[in-house]
Structure 1
């Protein structure tokens, strides 16, 4: 789970394994595999970084998904 902030300031936890896409439109919109969308205060880069950190902490290095070096600048 990753902690995020709604636009009204309320914090919530999102299951990072359900995230399909993160985009800036310019607001950050997170789309889950079931089609549900969340708009959050964090930048798309910050959300992506938290997802990568989640996978690095949750799974052993040998099982972690490969992330290209240029994925997060």
Structure 2
């Protein structure tokens, strides 16, 4: 799940796998596969980044179940 912000500043979590498309016109609108729409304060780029981090976290857990926290940036090796 990713956490986003509604226009009234309340937060909600959404399953990014159920997002069909994202519009920026000028408000960022998420269109879900069931037709529901959510308008959020984050930019389209920020939402895409949150989705990418979420998916990277899921993949990291598949390789290392003890990797419980979301990755914050590039890891130093």
State the TM-score, normalizing by the size of structure 1: 0.78
Report 1:1-73 matches (<5 A).
Answer: 1-60=1-60
Corresponding pairs, count: 60
Q: Deviations over 1:6-60 (max 9, x none)?
A: 0001001011111111110100000111111100000000001101111111125
State the TM-score, normalizing by the size of structure 2: 0.74
Higher normalized helix content (fraction of residues)? 2
Q: CA RMSD of the aligned region, Å? A: 0.9
